Structure 1
Amino acid sequence: MTHPDHQVAIIGGGFSGIGAAILLDRAGIDDYLMIEEGDGVGGAWHWNTYPGVAVDIPSFSYQFSFEQMAGWSRVYAPGKELKSYAEHCVEKYDVRRRTRLNTRIVSATFDDEGDFWTLGTADGDSITARHVVGATGVLTQPKKPEIEGITDFAGTVIHTARWDHGVDLSGKRVAIIGTGASAVQVIPSIARKVDHLTVFQRTPIWCLPKPDRRLPGPARLALRLPGAKAVTRVASQTFVELTFPIAAHFHNLLPVAGVGERLGHTHLRMAVRDPEVREKLTPKYALGCKRPSFSNDYLQAFNRSNVHLETESIERITATGVVTSDGVEHDADVLILATGFKVFEKGNMPAFTVTGAGGVDLEDWWGEHRFQAYQGVSVPGFPNFFAILGPYGYNGSSYFNLIETQMAHIVRCLRRAEKVGATRVEVTPEANTRYFERMLGRRRHQVFFQPSCSTANSYYFDVNGDVPFRASPTLETMWTSSRFDLDDYTFAGAAVS
């Protein structure tokens, strides 16, 4: 094959894919195809429609820097507004005509002779591209709990990531497994409707007060004034930076997490009346070991007479309810699985088989060498394959900042390839190792490796006990992604001298 179908194939139609498409266009690279499994764009905001779904960082940060909105209804926008924002971006930046929906990629195979990728689809056809941008995200594959008897339940089972709006919860006995980020939003949203709600908690979540409010018309008009969006964004970004990147990666140097823990304890004390319930909801691990949440009504939901917090471990599920280790069966008509997503489990990063140069499987390579990728973008042995959210790419800031940062890196590689006529772009093993060792060298300052984190049951940790996050403040990620030495890559092909 002389010419593949496209110069770039973008796998994923969420904000990572949309951002990749727009930024490729802005760089003058317009021969791309964005491929999405679902029947609409938006990624997490297309699939996740459960009651109460909303962004968990301020909306002023959760948007592209080049497409800032003044019309958010709240400081923390509801999910439907993020879905609308995705549609807006696809239309405004002419991405839709270069998008293929309802197409699930099941394999990506590199052709060593032709220097291109062949993408196999679930429908049995294929798409070829010189380069691939993996933009499938991480929180995309719903994770079901491995509990005995879960298939025996005779009532309705709903995973929060695939909510069934045809199910009316009014007057029902509902059991919800999990108290993570989605449960924090679902529980208070359904507590008033159901007859009884049993919440099964394995590990309590740090819940901080949410600086949220409705943005009235005058406030939205004010955001249209010159400079208003910039000022608001800086304030929002500073808040986000302090609450995760600084708190998590520089825990031993700048102990701001202590302030957050005191705030969390105060919030819990003021929100929950029953001291026994309050104690059960109190985390015993450091803030930041696992994903915290912000809510002004989650903890308060446990004051309701129809809400019961159950901390005994689940033994099995029957046709009519959930049996805990103390032998008690909790009857339920509906079972809600707020059990999150596969993250570092096999079959998720990415959720299709990737076969690189020499027939090497990416999942096997990571199994042998641990999760790693140069600046979270490239892995040696997998030419022309770039990730938006590879290992050690995400630092805890807004995903939108990550998308723009990673794409600055990718665009530099593609521009150099075009300039020198290269058909094969590959990070060197030496550069990858240097970056990996730098990240590991910073872990002594991170909160994740404090002793208390061993009890957090956090999805941040992979099978090797690593937390493949980029241990960098946001400004450093932006600087290094736009200024790394391009000689960290090899550029090869017939036209390269």
Structure 2
Amino acid sequence: MKASTTSGADQIVIIGAGVAGMCMGIKLKQAGIDDFVVLEKAATVGGTWRDNTYPGCGCDIPSHLYSFSFAPKPDWSSAYSPQPEIHRYLQHCAERFGLLGHIRFGTEVTEARYDQAACLWRVSTSNGDTIAARILVSGTGQLNRPLTPDIAGLDRFAGTAFHSARWRHDADLRDKQVAVIGNGASALQFIPRIAPEAGKLTVFQRSANWVLPRNGEAYTSGQQARFERHPWTARLHRWHLYLQRELRFGRMQRDSGRNRELETLARRYLAHMIPDPVLRTRLTPDYPIGCKRILISDDFYQALKRPNVHVETARIDHVEADAVVTADGARHRADAIVFATGFDARSFLAPIRITGRHGRTLADQWHEDPEAYLGMTAPGFPNLFVLYGPNTNLGHNSIIFMLECQARYVLQCIRACRSARFASMEVRPEVVTRFNQALQAAIGQTAWAGSCSSWYKSASGRVTNNWSSHATAYWWKTRKPHWGHFVLRHAGERS
């Protein structure tokens, strides 16, 4: 469906129709604001839940918490929902809240340039269109650009090779020699699904992950009926899940007793599931728990114990036409290679070129250590709001809670600027500096700042993806904008 949009000076452009962009669009609709357009490069909504369709794909946050607070779903099938169910939920929300009429599908944003004289963003698309917008909101998120390692000889591989986020459902893996490169969150989910049908499956592991049991039970029909008949019970269940996870943040404090207790639980789970001491040693991380993303699964360890599965810890040297060759010279035959190597989470908004005042790009400004005020605004980029930006990821709770906080905050900014007829608002540089100094001091006390490399960190070792405290603390900081933190300008006013 082609969106009905306006080209007026007050138009709002949202990039992306994933969870973040949808949340922003729905909040605008609920506030009676209709002069916005959502630019989506794909043919449907859903973002990461549209793109990731690998076997076993699902969420590791409880279903009743990984959903919009304003759109409860009483009939979630299980405690942790599978990808198809989440995608259907998002499609339903887009229809229910009248969002589809605002979305331009098949429209990829290539560039956005701030016109300082007009106080407008000029947004260019792959279709050759240029859209003028007073407000630009990015909903592209952090986990949408698959990262494939540059391995020598990969271009000469004769078999099938693909990233788990772009799963090749036409690839028949039955009785094949399958190489899985990487062992993170995606691999944890699809390895148990493909291991029974593969002839041999070799998992190339660079570093082990801490794994805890998922305990993902299905909801009974009685529970679903109760949530449907008595919505307050579903709300209570959601709050219980939220508070339960808020209390777990204490486990993320570096070198704390609770953090050590959590590591003990993970070690016991590993020892219980993997009796083989050699394999158990390979699967034991060499860094403190929480430094990297903690994974949850009820069937990953079982899959690794299968006789046709081998965990290889030697470094990959190169790829040949029919094999992956490790640094020790061993050839591991492969008919197919599946990359479970995650995403480029450090290049926010890439590959879109965002140019602010004075011609500086956001990529240049965030080249080394991306930072923003509340993860949303950056100096030099008036009227630009980034949802799920720097230091807004969570390691203990639901990102949808954070996105709702951000959407409410941005909505307040839009309303205030319109009522006071401000043409632009731009965060003050000293505000960003103060905010991030305090944030980094706090995050330095967490396990995420520990001695490991992870996608939470920039190349310099600074944690640039995760929030530093409880999700409730973020809600408190974003409950209302502090106007003194911004430079507010009327049209024609010089900077």
In the superposition, the TM-score normalised over structure 2's length comes to: 0.95
Say if 2:223 is the partner of 1:223: no
Partner of 1:188: 192
CA distance in 2, matches of 1:361, 1:236: 40
Amino acid at match of 2:75: G
Correspondence 1:26-425 to 2 at 5 A: 26-224=30-228, 225-243=230-248, 245-248=249-252, 250-251=253-254, 255-345=257-347, 348-367=348-367, 370-396=369-395, 397-425=397-425
Name the counterpart of 2:463. Answer: 467
CA shift, 1:216, in A, is: 2.0
Q: 1:175-234 CA deviation, whole Å, 9 max, x = no partner?
A: 100000000001101111111101000001111000211112112112222421122112
Read off the aligned partner of 1:277 and give its amino acid letter: L
Report the CA distance shift for 1:226/1:352 in structure 2 as closer, same or farther (over 3 A): closer
Post-superposition CA distance 1:278-312 (Å, at most 9, x none): 11001111111111110000011111100011111
Could you report, residue by residue, the CA deviation over 1:303-333 in whole angstroms, capped at 9, with x for unpaired residues?
1100011111101000001001111101011
CA distance in 2 between counterparts of 1:411 and 1:23 reads 7
Amino acid at match of 1:228: T
Q: Is the 8 A contact 1:420 1:495 kept in 2?
A: no
2:119–2:491 CA contact under 8 A, matched in 1: no
Deviation at 1:3, TM superposition (A): 5.9
Give the CA deviation at 1:246: 3.5
Q: Which amino acid aligns with 1:251?
A: R
Tell me what 2:476 maps to.
479
**How many residues were matched structurally?**
486
Shift of 1:50: 0.1
Amino acid at match of 2:115: D
What SS does the corresponding residue of 1:490 show, helix, strand or coil? strand
Distance in 2 (CA, whole Å) between partners of 1:160 and 1:349 is: 21
Secondary structure in 2 matching 1:268: helix
Q: Which runs of 5+ in 1 are unaligned?
A: none
| Deviation digits for residues 138-162 of structure 1 (CA, Å, limit 9, x no counterpart) | 1000101111111111000121000
Distance of aligned partners of 1:282 and 1:242 in 2 relative to their CA distance in 1, 3 Å threshold: farther
TM-score, structure 1 length as denominator?
0.94
Give the ranges of 4+ consecutive aligned residues of structure 1 lying more than 6 Å apart after TM superposition: none
CA distance change for structure 1 residues 55 and 272 in 2, over 3 Å: closer, same or farther?
A: same
Question: Does the CA-based 8 Å contact 1:413-1:486 persist in structure 2?
Answer: no
Aligned partners of 2:59, 2:30: CA distance in 1, in Å? 27
Aligned AA for 2:254? H
Q: 1:185 & 1:331 partners in 2: Cα distance?
A: 23
Q: CA deviation at 1:120?
A: 1.2
- Distance in 1 of aligned mates of 2:63 and 2:336: 33
- Partners in 1 of 2:188 and 2:245 — Cα distance? 19
Structure 2 SS opposite 1:223: helix
Deviation at 1:236, TM superposition (A): 1.3
Match of 1:448 in 2: 448
| Identity within the alignment, % | 36
SS at match of 2:236: helix
1:15 deviates by 0.4
| Paired residues of 1:6 and 1:33 also in contact (CA < 8 A) | no
Distance 1:140 1:6, change over 3 A: farther
Superimposed CA distance per residue, residues 99-136 of structure 1 (whole angstroms, 9 cap, x where no aligned partner): 01111111110001111111111232222211111000
CA distance in 1 between partners of 2:20 and 2:235 (Å): 22
- Indicate if the aligned counterparts of 1:17 and 1:135 stay in contact, CA closer than 8 A: yes
* 2: CA distance, partners of 1:5 / 1:246: 47
**CA shift for structure 1 position 237:** 1.2
Tell me how large the CA RMSD over aligned residues is: 1.8
The Cα of 1:5 is off from its aligned counterpart by 6.7
Specify the SS of the correspondent of 1:483: coil
